[in-house]
Chains A and B, each alone.
Chain A
């Protein structure tokens, strides 16, 4: 199984939730947006994005809709459900707590 390099396990889900929380997005759109916002720091493997998306969808955290995408083709756009918004809230809180904790540890002065 290919894991997104440099990503803590489970973070892909939060990132996806966050992305589709901003606006309805296609799979490619999510990857592209992540690339842009993180200045290519967050490289998501294209192969693992879709299983993650479908897992989130079947868990009821996001839902999808077919609409016209770029280049006059049908594309599947994902949006956040109410359940997903709750989940995102919980997860980002967790993340913030965790990152604060880690930063605190890392800031300890070495003797």
Chain B
């Protein structure tokens, strides 16, 4: 058929389908006219009317057959048959309620898990940013040296590039800080974006109320106290009222005016951050931050060429490429840098020696400057693999169920075939049934995914991506994937039954021929199920071992007797004498609680995240701090004198802090082994001086043993400890050592809350709990894989049970005869279980082989366990065999109890 003719025909065919009823009527009328004319003609030739009519009808052939053929020519039959099949399948499924329930439920779990994980992948990897034309946005950073490939830039360098670039339509700068924000309600700690005025313009983000920031907000530092708030904050603090615009809120004590609300879902361009409000860059010194970012440095923050705090994002000009823009920005940057003095990496606070200052551009969607993208991507692949494997298992199981169902229906199918239904027609009918199940599964899978997404929200991915920060949910793309999954799964699980139906001699079934070779296909399908379950079990086992190892690992201190509580005076603005008095009282009362053996204070408790800051070794002879000696990136913690005693970390060299150190703050410093080794490789740290950013010079008075400080999986992080003063104004962790920490936990909170004026108290917890919190992504992996491997095991067990029960059912008579002839029960058992045994053994073997390769993907998330850990493999195999024995027990018992006499009679 030529194309033109094809186009001509389509509307005619469509019309035929749409107007089927009317056309049938017209057809009748046409035929009647024909019969009438023919009869009249024959009568005119001299035949009797009755004879004439009979002949006319005979000439015509069977009216019914004629009608079918004519309709066939109109191309209506296929559609009619489809509609019939759908009705038929729905009726059939409605009759087999239990089957349908199991099928749809299995699919819903399988598809629902896939939908949930896809929505995660969609939100994290495919469409991470809620920003227009994100494909033209680039993240701009500098490669300082190989150790520091993605370093932010300084504000003057940002200005230089933003003003001179021709390849980018605009470059914006941003930085994110935790600030204390007070709306009408209580103060809270929120992530705050500090952005150049053109930030929203470059990203193409429009306000939903009011205005966003603009270049007019740039001005002199400290002169534009305006803020744009997030949709979430608008909802929480202002109940989405338009009165929010123009009203004020306080950030760290400074009053800001709210000028607009960002669109829903906008969360900046960094996946690990979720700012709730945005202020102009010039307000950085007015956020109530301490240290270098305090208001004292207001005039410096935007002018210092080595204050590398600004992440840049730019929008490529029409026609410009990543390469051309990179070249241009490097040229500009080199020119800017040429006019300035050179500085070393350590001066800037980074490790390594050389400074290359090469500008790097990365498409924003795969921006690697944040966290641990590589790990994140890999982790997502693992999640995806797990849910796909589960779905495959569900498919195989369903294929098996369908095989059983069709075996039960073989009489019906045989009957249809003998009445003239072609094999293709029967196959189509079965396929339609599968499709309906698949789509039903997809629909209920959507419901399951909603629950799953809610459960996911409490977890954290590698790279500290908190799932609750992401706008997870079902959007158009997720919906499309779900429907596609429904169709694809129905193809997968529908194939085996259709193949079987088209191969089997259905007519023979009518004559009562027993289905002999039928269970082979089921055994193969079952074997595949077992193999996939083994793969999941191995993965789950490896994650569980990792958790166990992580919890058992030597931390360098014993977390068990420790309770911690955060005191956060920054939230209330408490300061000075009041604080000193509170800490004094708190210490006394906490010590008085029965069971408490020590109380200490620190700004950081082990196994929580800590920012790393640069320190350099400075010899006393060189007073300028830019010495050529070693440098290290270390966590900085303020601690009270009792701290090392209380958490149980021994002082190896020198001494611990004294009360005198506390009053003479910042002059004495204690290093851990890792920091001491990095800064003073000669092994004589005591009495030496270290320097931070040319601002702090500290004398080493002691060295303490290494502990794990940020996560159990980390090697030892270099740490620097300085004495904490009596009225320390930042958030402080109160650490208590106790005999019965769980009991002391509640008591401690009550005791401190009873102190009349007290700063906000947060997060009372057992330090031991943080050990598992530090294993968060592993916990996620263990939970997810554990849940799904259990599900897979159950599904496979159902399959095994079903196969044995089927064999017992179909060979009822044979078993009876054998029993009558005196067969031993062992023979009977092997007769009914041989297929399952082969399937399980084969499946486990294949699963092991696949497991050896697939578990390599988990390697980087494991701790102290090899991906091919024999014990884990053995446990997985054992679990499967136990499940198999349990599943087979019931039908085997039934086989052994068959009454030979009745069995032989019943056929």
- Indicate whether B51 reaches chain A with its CB closer than 8 angstroms: no
Nearest CB in chain A to that of B38: its residue: A28
Nearest CB in chain A to that of B11: its residue: A60
Nearest CB in chain B to that of A52: its residue: B73
Interface of A is mostly: helix
- Of B8, B9, B12, B61, which contacts A46 at CB under 8 A? B61
Contact A76 B61 (CB under 8 A): no
- Indicate whether B5 reaches chain A with its CB closer than 8 angstroms: yes
Contact B70 A46 (CB under 8 A): no
- Interface flags for A36-59 (1: CB within 8 Å of B; 0: not) read 000000000111001110110111
Contact B34 A28 (CB under 8 A): yes
Known: A46-B60, A70-B40. A58 touches B74 (CB 8 A): yes
Contact B73 A51 (CB under 8 A): yes
B11 CB, nearest partner CB in chain A, Å? 9
- Indicate whether B893 reaches chain A with its CB closer than 8 angstroms: no
- Of B5, B8, B41, B59, which contacts A45 at CB under 8 A? B59
Known: A27-B34, A46-B59, A46-B61. A71 touches B70 (CB 8 A): no
- Indicate whether B189 reaches chain A with its CB closer than 8 angstroms: no
B331 CB, nearest partner CB in chain A, Å? 67
Q: How far is the CA of A66 from the CA of B33 in the complex (A)?
A: 12
Contact B5 A59 (CB under 8 A): yes
- Indicate whether B412 reaches chain A with its CB closer than 8 angstroms: no
Known: A27-B30, A45-B59, A76-B26. A58 touches B36 (CB 8 A): no
Residues on A with C-beta less than 8 A from B655 are none
Contact B12 A50 (CB under 8 A): no
- Indicate whether B459 reaches chain A with its CB closer than 8 angstroms: no
Nearest CB in chain B to that of A26: its residue: B33
Q: How far is the CA of A45 from the CA of B31 in the complex (A)?
A: 14
- Indicate whether A73 reaches chain B with its CB closer than 8 angstroms: yes
A6 CB, nearest partner CB in chain B, Å? 16
- Indicate whether A14 reaches chain B with its CB closer than 8 angstroms: no
Contact B30 A76 (CB under 8 A): yes
Q: How far is the CA of A70 from the CA of B35 in the complex (A)?
A: 12
- Indicate whether A101 reaches chain B with its CB closer than 8 angstroms: no
User: What size tier do the contact residues of chain A reach?
Assistant: 20 to 34
Residues on B with C-beta less than 8 A from A45 are 59, 61
- Of A46, A59, A60, A69, which contacts B33 at CB under 8 A? A69
Q: How far is the CA of A51 from the CA of B74 in the complex (A)?
A: 9
Nearest CB in chain B to that of A50: its residue: B70
Q: How far is the CA of A66 from the CA of B40 in the complex (A)?
A: 20
- Indicate whether A75 reaches chain B with its CB closer than 8 angstroms: yes
Nearest CB in chain A to that of B15: its residue: A58
Residues on B with C-beta less than 8 A from A55 are 73
- Of A46, A52, A71, A83, which contacts B34 at CB under 8 A? A46
- Indicate whether B66 reaches chain A with its CB closer than 8 angstroms: yes
Residues on A with C-beta less than 8 A from B330 are none
Residues on B with C-beta less than 8 A from A69 are 33, 37
B36-95 contacts to A (CB < 8 Å): 36-38, 40-41, 56, 59-62, 65-66, 69-70, 72-75
- Indicate whether B664 reaches chain A with its CB closer than 8 angstroms: no
Known: A46-B60, A58-B9. A32 touches B16 (CB 8 A): no
Nearest CB in chain B to that of A49: its residue: B34
- Indicate whether B897 reaches chain A with its CB closer than 8 angstroms: no
B1-19 contacts to A (CB < 8 Å): 5, 8-9, 12-13, 16
Contact B36 A51 (CB under 8 A): no
Residues on B with C-beta less than 8 A from A57 are 12
- Indicate whether A2 reaches chain B with its CB closer than 8 angstroms: yes
Q: How far is the CA of A28 from the CA of B38 in the complex (A)?
A: 7
Residues on B with C-beta less than 8 A from A71 are 36-37, 40
Known: A58-B12, A71-B40, A76-B26. A47 touches B33 (CB 8 A): no
Q: How far is the CA of A51 from the CA of B29 in the complex (A)?
A: 15
Contact B73 A70 (CB under 8 A): no
Q: Which of B13, B38, B59, B73 counts the most chain A CB atoms within 10 A?
A: B73
Contact B70 A32 (CB under 8 A): no
Contact B66 A73 (CB under 8 A): no
- Indicate whether A3 reaches chain B with its CB closer than 8 angstroms: no
- Of B16, B40, B61, which contacts A58 at CB under 8 A? B16
Contact B61 A2 (CB under 8 A): yes
Contact A83 B8 (CB under 8 A): yes
- Indicate whether A74 reaches chain B with its CB closer than 8 angstroms: yes
Q: How far is the CA of A62 from the CA of B607 in the complex (A)?
A: 84
Residues on A with C-beta less than 8 A from B27 are 50
Contact B60 A75 (CB under 8 A): no
Contact B74 A50 (CB under 8 A): no
Contact A46 B38 (CB under 8 A): yes
Q: How far is the CA of A70 from the CA of B12 in the complex (A)?
A: 28
B25 CB, nearest partner CB in chain A, Å? 12
Nearest CB in chain B to that of A56: its residue: B73
A64-111 contacts to B (CB < 8 Å): 66, 69-71, 73-76, 83
Residues on A with C-beta less than 8 A from B74 are 54, 58
Residues on B with C-beta less than 8 A from A29 are 37
Q: How far is the CA of A50 from the CA of B40 in the complex (A)?
A: 19
Residues on B with C-beta less than 8 A from A52 are 73
Contact A47 B9 (CB under 8 A): no
B49 CB, nearest partner CB in chain A, Å? 14
Residues on B with C-beta less than 8 A from A2 are 61
A18-41 contacts to B (CB < 8 Å): 26-29, 31-32
- Interface flags for B593-621 (1: CB within 8 Å of A; 0: not) read 00000000000000000000000000000
Q: Which of A32, A57, A60, A66 counts the most chain B CB atoms within 10 A?
A: A60
Contact B75 A58 (CB under 8 A): yes
B22 CB, nearest partner CB in chain A, Å? 12
A40 CB, nearest partner CB in chain B, Å? 12
- Interface flags for B732-772 (1: CB within 8 Å of A; 0: not) read 00000000000000000000000000000000000000000
- Interface flags for B197-240 (1: CB within 8 Å of A; 0: not) read 00000000000000000000000000000000000000000000
Contact A74 B33 (CB under 8 A): yes
Contact A60 B66 (CB under 8 A): no
Residues on B with C-beta less than 8 A from A26 are 30, 33-34, 37
Residues on A with C-beta less than 8 A from B69 are 47, 51
Nearest CB in chain B to that of A70: its residue: B37
Q: How far is the CA of A84 from the CA of B41 in the complex (A)?
A: 29
Residues on A with C-beta less than 8 A from B65 are 47
Nearest CB in chain A to that of B72: its residue: A51
A4 CB, nearest partner CB in chain B, Å? 12
Known: A27-B34, A70-B37, A71-B36. A51 touches B66 (CB 8 A): yes
Contact B13 A47 (CB under 8 A): no
Q: What would be 30 A-B contacts, judged by CB atoms less than 8 Å apart?
A: A26-B34, A29-B37, A45-B61, A46-B60, A47-B59, A47-B62, A47-B69, A50-B30, A50-B66, A50-B70, A51-B69, A51-B70, A51-B73, A52-B73, A55-B73, A57-B12, A58-B16, A58-B73, A58-B74, A59-B5, A60-B5, A60-B12, A66-B26, A69-B33, A70-B37, A71-B36, A71-B37, A71-B40, A73-B36, A83-B5
The 7 A-B pairs of least Cβ separation, nearest first, read A47-B61, A28-B37, A55-B73, A51-B69, A46-B60, A28-B34, A54-B73
Binding site for B on A (CB under 8 A): 2, 26-29, 31-32, 45-47, 50-52, 54-55, 57-60, 66, 69-71, 73-76, 83
Beyond A27-B33, A32-B41, A51-B66, 17 additional pairs, beta carbon < 8 A: A2-B61, A26-B37, A28-B34, A32-B37, A45-B59, A45-B61, A46-B60, A47-B59, A50-B27, A50-B31, A54-B73, A55-B73, A60-B5, A70-B37, A74-B29, A76-B29, A76-B33
Binding site for A on B (CB under 8 A): 5, 8-9, 12-13, 16, 26-27, 29-31, 33-34, 36-38, 40-41, 56, 59-62, 65-66, 69-70, 72-75
